Amino acid sequence: MEKTIEQKFMDLLKEQSSYSEAIGLMAWDMRTKAPKKGMDNRSEVLGVLSQKVHELQTSSEMKHYIESLKGHTDDPIITKAVEEAEEEYERTAKVPTEEYRAYVTLQSKAEAMWGEAKANNDFESFRPYLEELVEYNKKFAKYWGYEGNIYDALLHNYEPGVTVAKLDEVFPKVRKALTGLLEKIKTAPVQPDPTILQGHFPKAQQETFSEEILKRMGYDFDAGRLDETVHPFAIGLNKNDVRVTTKYDEADFRTAVFGTIHEGGHALYEQNISENLAFTPLATGTSMGIHESQSLFWENFVSRSESFWENHYDLFKSHAPDRFNELPLDEFYRAVNEVKPSFIRIEADELTYCLHIMVRYELEKALINSEIEVKDLPALWNQKMEDYFGIKPENDAEGVLQDIHWAGGDFGYFPSYALGYMYAAQFANRLNEEISMEEVIKAGDFKQIQEWLTQNIHQFGKMKKPLEILTDVTGEELNSQYLIDYLTEKYQKIYQF
């Protein structure tokens, strides 16, 4: 029996998805296990496979299926898949295939060089790659088109519906609130003692504790794994193979523990997408902002809460060095929630985190708008850190070279972190109206939380747009006040101001 056009369309999507999964697996390998000498060849292979995906997305066959099925199918998944495929077709077709292949190859080589540059504190060795990446992104933005700011074309890749105009309205309000809180905290009468957390904490014991927390969150190790990398990430190859990575610091366990929980939040999203969406472009998170809302929800609203540690402190001490046995819970809790301006974004406390994002947003927006040049980044980065935090990086490894995102060409990505934090606060507020988060977390009952997140967010994949998810779940559009209120209430209590 000859296949229907719907079946042929789904077969083409499956072929495209299969190549994308292979690309994802190779990308994971390059960031975790691959030998240094294999990087150049691997980059070329990634370029070839990415070109193949590009060709499938823009093929005459794909165009035929889109035109034939658009408005002519009753299947909601196929309807949405056609919509997604059409958008991919229109945007991808505007980028010449050879340019796209060259760009993907450049991305892989740039990531490898970034790793060396960071290790050697050598921005100049990375600069030529970054300059090329910036120029490609400017060119692609013009291919795709935009109505307001050229940076909007890149924002769309990560957070559809969000624009520079919206960010420039919301971010200053949040920045003012956070810097105001930060000033009060600096002079507060009660200050946590972070030194009680410092000292040698073996990597193996950190890993065992982190794995146990992932299991309690609901992460399925039969459909995933935990590995070590320079810059932590989670990657969903498919819902049954979602991998988490982390970075261990034996002098400060917080890096790995909270980082692993953060990436675990991403992974839970991918593991709980509906099986019905498999092998379609819908079988992933709807946006990076919604994705970040899940990771930040687990990292901050769950694992940095007092309720979490009331339940898990004994488990922690069973894996931690003996010095923690005599440390009172209240002192521990306040210490892990210390607010202190720091250089490294992934190690930032939850109050200053958004300020790190705003530094990056302002710089990359200026780069794409040709207002600054790549060569000026180190000095501009350091100046913004001094303006926002009152501290200045001593070297580029703890400054402009610390993040992998620009090396991967991910311009437009950073705002998603701050947006995700705001989304997470709205979701937490809504969840609290249905169940008491404090009580269920204190009881260690993460199942209720996970089921709520799956029912309201995870299962839909890309069946819903990010702002549609937000309004459906919370009943309102983006509202940064929930985040401001959450941080104000929490830190007034901890610092007693």
Tokens 């009152």 locate to 390
A 10 A CB-CB count for 201 gives 24
3-state secondary structure of 177: helix
Tokens of 210: 């982190």
Distance (Å, rounded) from C-alpha 319 to C-alpha 325? 11
Straight-line distance from the first to the last Cα atom of the chain, in angstroms, rounded to the nearest whole number: 74
The residue type found at 342 is: S
Total number of residues shown for the chain: 497
Question: Across 274-314, where does the E strand assignment appear?
Answer: none
In this structure, what DSSP letter does residue 305 have? Answer: S
Name 365's bridge partners: none
Q: Taking a C-beta distance cutoff of 8 angstroms, is the pair 49, 22 a contact?
A: yes
Distance, CA of 251 to CA of 248 (rounded, Å):
9
Which residue among the candidates 6, 159, 263, 270 is catalytic per the annotation?
Answer: 263
**Angle between helix 415-434 and helix 481-495 axes, rounded to 10 deg:** 80
The answer to whether residue 371 is catalytic is no
- Residues 351 and 87: their CA atoms lie apart, in Å, by 37
Q: Retrieve residue 460's tokens.
A: 């839909």
Q: What single DSSP character describes residue 246?
A: E
C-alpha of 425 from chain center: 16
Amino acid at 433: E
Residues 465/157, Cβ–Cβ less than 8 Å: no
Bridge partners of 226, per DSSP, are 244
Where are the alpha helices (H) located in 228-273, listed in sequence order?
Answer: 254-271
Q: Which residues are known to be catalytic?
A: 263
